[in-house]
Amino acid sequence: MFRNGLKNHDSGNTGVIFAVFAPTPWESGEQSLLSYKSSRRQLKPALLLIMLTAFNAAAAESMPAGPPASADPALQTEWGLRYQHAEGVARDHDRAIKLYCAAARKGYAPAQYWLGWSYANGHGVDRDDGLAAAWFRLAASQGDRPARRMLEFIGDADKAPEPKCILTDGSEYLEALKSVPNPSRKLIRKWVRRLSPDYELNPALVLAVIQVESNFDPKARSHKNAQGLMQLIPATAERFGVKDILDPLDNLKGGMAYLRWLLDYFNGNLTNALAAYNAGEQAVKRHGGVPPYSETRAYVRKVRQVVRNTAPPVSS
């Protein structure tokens, strides 16, 4: 049934397939558009319950217990529809959004359409016409006719937000980061922007530390055996849970955790935290501030200068 639904989506007739449990605004031309704008026609509750119960009971016998571990976007979208409409599985809007999102990020237009449909209708998630338009626009750019019709109806605002996958609690669903042996600067910056909120760090600060420490070389190694993007010594890496010091993403997380710890340890004093990152917290504590080491003092100046050149001032 769902494979047929996806095929019908491709031909612009999805509304007929999903009329019972997913009334589609564009299914019957102008009349349906008007009903979408006000209040869509509903089947009588008793009849609807009987139909859904009978369908779900039959579907449950033939469907697997959960979605397969497949990277195929059509199959991910099919399972998203099942979870959104409780077809043979328990209704789970968050899982549906995640499945749609995984397929949509691979450029699969039907998944992009169903994300737009979910936000346009407020089906299990908060209604957001701007976000809906953003997803419809992506699908329409690939020639998806239903998405084009929806854009004509809800409007394709120039200031529509970037397409995001927003879950039922209002949080954004972000794809899990995957490490690579030789990440580009662009990818490293993406990682830093993604991870910085988790450590309550200014991404410009983290990027400045990386630039001064390793110049974005994930294989960098100093004469003191500091390694990787954030030049962690083995003892520090172990202290902050780094399993593979030369794994760029693992190294980055460990360095960010250490930097966050230093800022907390020195009560938000950035100068002392940076000095400790270079010379160790005990050296800073022993000298009551930046140690009188030329390397450490130059290090603090360089990092702060890079931050000033790339972002608003960071608190001192």
Q: Which residues are catalytic?
A: 213
The CA distances from residue 245 to 153, 170, 241, in Å, are: 53, 35, 10
- Cα end-to-end distance, the chain, whole Å: 61
Where does the chain show beta strands of DSSP type E? Answer: none
137: which 2 tokens? Answer: 């626009």
How many other CB atoms sit within 10 Å of the CB of residue 261? 16
Rounded to an integer, what distance in angstroms lies between the CA atom of residue 24 and that of residue 2?
15
> Burial of 162 by CB count in 10 Å (0-12 exposed, 13-18 middle, 19+ buried)?
exposed
List phi, psi (to 5°) of 232: -90, 135
Instruction: Kindly provide the b/e burial profile for residues 1-13, where b requires at least 16 CB atoms within 10 angstroms of the residue's own CB.
Output: ebeebbebbbeee
268: which 2 tokens? Answer: 């938000």
